[in-house]
Each structure stands twice: as structure tokens, then as C-alpha cells.
Amino acid sequence: MKRLTAISLLAMASLFTTGVAVAADDRGAQANVPFAFNVGDKTLPAGVYTVHSPETDLIELRSSDRAHGVLSIAYHDSNEPMNGEGVWVFTRYGDTYFLTEVLCPNASVSLHLPTTKRERMARINEAKMGTPTHVLVAAK
């Protein structure tokens, strides 16, 4: 019984400190995405989203109403030129969008998301019909 109590307390403390760490991290890039899009294996509806990016390769993408979100692997790129306005870069295959980059100099964010199996399949299908399109969405 003592062990179960100790594990429960440890789990609650971990959740609390994680929540505080995310709240304390004010580095983030926000964008109003006017279409549904894919991150990893999850499809997110259109809306206002914020990316929080601690110094790890894991990012949190969350809608402004906190109803939708996803954790994903992303690679930080410190060599990316950080001038001008921020943008979120999507690759469109037919009517399917995939988030591929988040570049926001104001929040010191320069992220590249890896290509997923779902995106590779969309790329193969699109290759039969035409070329993919890159779509930019302004970030704050």
C-alpha cells in the first residue's frame, strides 16, 4: 500500500512539474491555419495553433481552445536564417496538408518535422497526378 501511495505521489508530482515547465516556456510560434492538416499520424482541424518547443526534439502543438493537440518529433535548426516574419510551411498533396517546418524568429523557433509514413504514401500517390505544393501560413 505504501508503494502504491508513493508511486501515485510521484506521478502527480511529475505531471505538476511538467505543466509548470510548459507554462513557463514562453517560446512558441502561433498561426491561424485555415485548413485541416497532418502532424505525425494525427489530423488536426483548422484553427489557431501554438507550437511550444523546449530544447529537446519533442514539440507540443496545441489549439488555442486546447481541444486538439499533438506531441511530435521535430529537429531544431540553428543554421536557418532567422529574418523577417515567421511562417509555418505545409506541403500539400492533393487536398491533404502536412506540417513540415515552423520558422518564427520572434520566438527563436526554427523547426523541421520529419516525413512520416503517411506523407510518403501521399507523395507516392501525388507523383502519379502532379507535383506537391508548398503552402505558407503567417506566424506570430
> What digits encode the pLDDT tens for the residues 67-102?
999 999 998 776 555 566 789 999 998 889 999 998
27 pLDDT above the threshold of 60: no
With beta carbons less than 8 A apart as the criterion, state whether 22 and 62 touch. no
Rounded Cα–Cα distance for residues 111 and 73 (Å):
10
Query: Do the strands 133-139 and 86-93 form a parallel or antiparallel pair, or are they unpaired?
Result: antiparallel
1 pLDDT above the threshold of 60: no
Rounded Cα–Cα distance for residues 57 and 71 (Å):
10
Predicted TM-score of the model (pTM): 0.71
With beta carbons less than 8 A apart as the criterion, state whether 73 and 51 touch. no
Question: If you count them, how many residues does the chain have?
Answer: 140
Which alpha helices (H) appear in 1-140, and where do they start and end? 2-24, 117-127
Output DSSP code: residue 74: -
